[in-house]
Amino acid sequence: MKLHRSIFVLPTALALLTFASAQQPGASSKSAKASRNPVQEITLPNYPADTPPGPNLAAYQQKCLLCHTSRYVTTQPRFPRTVWEKEVKKMVDVYGAPITAEEQQQIVEYLFAIKGPVDNK
Amino acid sequence: MTGVLHRRSFAAMLAGLGGSVAANRFLGPHVFGNLLPDAWAAETANAPELARYPQKTDMILLTDRPPQLETPLRYFTTDLTPNDAFFVRWHLSGIPTSVDTRTFRLAVSGNVRKPLSLSLQDLRTRFEPVSLVALCQCAGNSRSLFEPRVPGGQWGNGAMSNARWTGVRLKDVLDAADVLPGTVQVGFRGLDTPPIPQTPRFEKSLSIDRARDGEVMIAYEMNGTPLPMLNGFPIRLVVPGWYSTYWVKALSSVAVLDQPLKTFWMDTAYRVADNPGAEESPQQLAKTTVPITRMAVHSIFVKPAPNEQLVAGKSYTLQGVANDGGSGIRKVEVSTNDGKTWGDATLGTDLGKYSWRLWHMPWTPTAKGSYRLQVRATTDDGQQQATSQWNRSGYQRDVIEHLDVVVA
Element at B5 (helix H, strand E): helix B2-17
**Whether residue A85 is found in the same domain as residue A36:** no
Question: Count of A–B CB contacts within 8 Å?
Answer: 212
Query: What distance in Å separates the CA atoms of residue A40 and residue B22, rounded to the nearest whole number?
Result: 11
**Whether residue A68 is found in the same domain as residue A116:** yes
Give the per-residue pLDDT at B28: 28
Residue B17 has pLDDT above 50, yes or no: no
Asked, for residue A68, whether it belongs to a domain, the answer is yes
**Whether residue A61 is found in the same domain as residue A114:** yes
CATH of the domain at A106: 1.10.760.10
**Whether residue A33 is found in the same domain as residue A78:** no
Asked, for residue A101, whether it belongs to a domain, the answer is yes
**Whether residue A79 is found in the same domain as residue A115:** yes
User: Contacts of residue B19 in chain A, CB cutoff 8 Å?
Assistant: 15, 19
Residue among B17, B95, B101 minimizing CB distance to A38: B101
Cβ A41–B97 below 8 Å, yes or no?
yes
Residues 6+ apart with CB under 8 A from A42: A29, B53, B54, B55, B97, B98, B229, B230
pTM of the model: 0.86
Domains of chain B, first to last? 38-88 (no CATH), 90-291 (3.90.420.10), 298-407 (2.60.40.650)
**Tens digit of pLDDT for each residue in B213-226?**
999 999 999 999 99
**Whether residue A36 is found in the same domain as residue A87:** no
Query: What distance in Å separates the CA atoms of residue A83 and residue A85, rounded to the nearest whole number?
Result: 5
**Tens digit of pLDDT for each residue in B143-199?**
999 999 999 999 999 999 999 999 999 999 999 999 999 999 999 999 999 999 999
Q: Domain residues for A40?
A: 18-45
User: Contacts of residue A17 in chain B, CB cutoff 8 Å?
Assistant: 20-22, 98-100, 103-104
Contact status, residue B273 vs residue B391, Cβ threshold 8 Å = yes
Mutation target for B interface from A6, A7, A86, A90: give the one with most B CBs within 10 A: A7
**Whether residue A41 is found in the same domain as residue A69:** no
Give the per-residue pLDDT at B12: 32
Distance of residue B342 Cα from the nearest chain A Cα, in angstroms: 34
Distance of residue A99 Cα from the nearest chain B Cα, in angstroms: 12
**Whether residue A40 is found in the same domain as residue A70:** no
**Whether residue A28 is found in the same domain as residue A78:** no
Distance of residue B245 Cα from the nearest chain A Cα, in angstroms: 18
Cβ A1–B1 below 8 Å, yes or no?
yes
Domains held by chain A: number = 2
**Whether residue A64 is found in the same domain as residue A37:** no
**Whether residue A26 is found in the same domain as residue A63:** no
**Whether residue A32 is found in the same domain as residue A61:** no
Residue of A nearest to B267 (CA): A94
Asked, for residue A77, whether it belongs to a domain, the answer is yes
Cβ A94–B200 below 8 Å, yes or no?
yes
| B228 φ/ψ angles, rounded to the nearest 5 degrees | -60, 150
